[in-house]
Amino acid sequence: METNQFNLVGPCGIFCGECECYKAKDSEQLMAYLVSRGIKAEKLPCAGCRNVEGLCPVIGSVCETYNCAKEHAVDFCYECSDYPCTRLMPVADGATVYPHNMKTFCLSFIKSKGLDEFVKAYPEIKLKYYNGKMAVGKGPQMD
């Protein structure tokens, strides 16, 4: 596993390498858009959850889930004796915008197949989450 990949996957299973705040490093237009959406310019681009010790530019403070993982001395939430906890519970609010409902799936994927395979698969995971159509009993499907 590459150290950079580890540093770009938060304890919660979100892949920072696909986050717009991280990708803003390569796009002035994306940077301007994020600032227009209320993210402070001095917090951009984000270097990734672990590289900024959980200081998330989207929430403007240190992520409580990051701190929790640190307090429990785990690299990933699935390693915690309290897993799964309510911090990872999916909610409908913001589900079409934020990747929070993907956390438990992502953590299960990392635990089962490893971080390298997760990073390779993440673009498809994200695509199915945001663009897939739910087929009851089959899961998300791409048309």
pLDDT in tens, 33-58: 999 999 999 989 999 999 999 998 88
* Res 14: pLDDT: 93
Structure tokens at 37: 């959406």
The domain in which residue 59 lies consists of 3-133
pLDDT in tens, 76-110: 999 999 999 999 999 989 888 888 899 999 999 99
In a domain, 140, yes or no: no
Total tally of structural domains belonging to the chain: 1
In a domain, 141, yes or no: no
In a domain, 143, yes or no: no
In a domain, 93, yes or no: yes
Task: Work out the average pLDDT over 65-78.
Answer: 97
- 143 or 80: which leads in pLDDT: 80
- 78 or 1: which leads in pLDDT: 78
In a domain, 22, yes or no: yes
Task: Work out the average pLDDT over 13-28.
Answer: 92
In a domain, 142, yes or no: no
In a domain, 43, yes or no: yes
Question: What contacts 43, CB < 8 A, 6 or more positions away?
Answer: 21, 55, 57, 60
User: Considering all CA atoms of the chain, what is the largest pairwise distance in Å, rounded to the nearest integer?
Assistant: 45
User: 21 to each of 40, 52, 110, 137, how far by Cα in Å?
Assistant: 11, 12, 22, 34
CA atoms of 80 and 20, how far apart (whole Å): 28
